[in-house]
Amino acid sequence: MTEVNPEFEKINAILNHTVRPFMQKDGGDLKLITLADNILTIEYQGACGGCPHAKMGTLMAIEAALKEHYNPDIKVESQG
């Protein structure tokens, strides 16, 4: 049985109410990969995986939402 990361649950809840609906509307999504030393690594999925905006605007929006609602010191990086 896989153990659920409680921090990922908090982060996913925030993303589900902020940026994820906009990403899914355009055929994309994101997956949380790791969280260590206030650095969250994500992987873009679907349409967001090949979108040049994902690497800039969307990443900044994800980080801004998490800074406001989760931890003001968090940094978000894209895998790959």
Alpha carbons 31 and 29: distance in angstroms, whole number: 7
- Residue 43: closest CA among 67, 8, 68: 8
In a domain, 1, yes or no: no
In a domain, 18, yes or no: yes
pLDDT at 14: 98
Q: What is the CATH number of the domain that holds 35?
A: 3.30.300.130
- Residue 51: closest CA among 71, 8, 22: 22
Q: How many domains does the chain have?
A: 1
**Range of the structural domain that residue 57 is part of:** 6-78
pLDDT at 30: 93
pLDDT at 54: 65
Is residue 2 predicted with pLDDT exceeding 90?
no
Q: Which two tokens stand for residue 24?
A: 């899914």
pLDDT at 5: 84
Q: Which two tokens stand for residue 6?
A: 């409680």
For the entire predicted model, the pTM comes to: 0.87
